[in-house]
Amino acid sequence: NAGVMQNPRHLVRRRGQEARLRCSPMKGHSHVYWYRQLPEEGLKFMVYLQKENIIDESGMPKERFSAEFPKEGPSILRIQQVVRGDSAAYFCASSTRTAQRDTEAFFGQGTRLTVV
């Protein structure tokens, strides 16, 4: 059973370009979470999705950022018109159930975005 798969592992974009980050959850997991880790900082929650639904996007910047988790295929985090401040590691996590105190979220290896 493969773990959470993120690709690409490393992504370099010029200012103004678009970045698309992909996350395939573990088999059987229908809940996906995206987190952003700025250099030398902890992880900050961005968005929580279930299949075809955004459940909580309270951590998403209001502009340029969007996320989806379609019925088929991976979850996508999309950043339009990237700026240098978007350079960070973006982690995806998946889990099986909601509102369970002991439910574990499994993390992918992350996508390291560098904006030049």
53 touching another protein, by CB under 8 A = no
Which lies closer to another protein via its Cβ, residue 4 or residue 21? 4
Q: What's the closest the beta carbon of residue 28 comes to another protein, in angstroms?
A: 16
Distance between CA atoms of residues 82 and 61, nearest Å: 12
42 binds another protein (CB under 8 A): yes
Q: If you search the block for the tokens 């018109």, which residue do you land on?
A: 81
Asked if 105 interacts with another protein (CB under 8 A), we say yes
Please state, in angstroms and as integers, the Cα–Cα distance from residue 103 to each residue in 7, 34, 41, 91, 95, following that order: 25, 17, 25, 18, 7
**DSSP-derived secondary structure letter, 29:** -
Q: What is the C-alpha separation between 90 and 6, in angstroms, rounded?
A: 9
36 touching another protein, by CB under 8 A: no
Stretch that binds another protein, among 13-21, 70-78, 79-87, 90-98 (CB under 8 A): 90-98
Is position 43 an interface residue for another protein (rule: CB under 8 A)? yes
Nearest to 88 by CA among 40, 51, 33, 39: 39
Q: Site residues (CB under 8 A) for another protein?
A: 4, 6, 31, 33, 35, 41-45, 48, 55-56, 91, 93, 95, 98-110
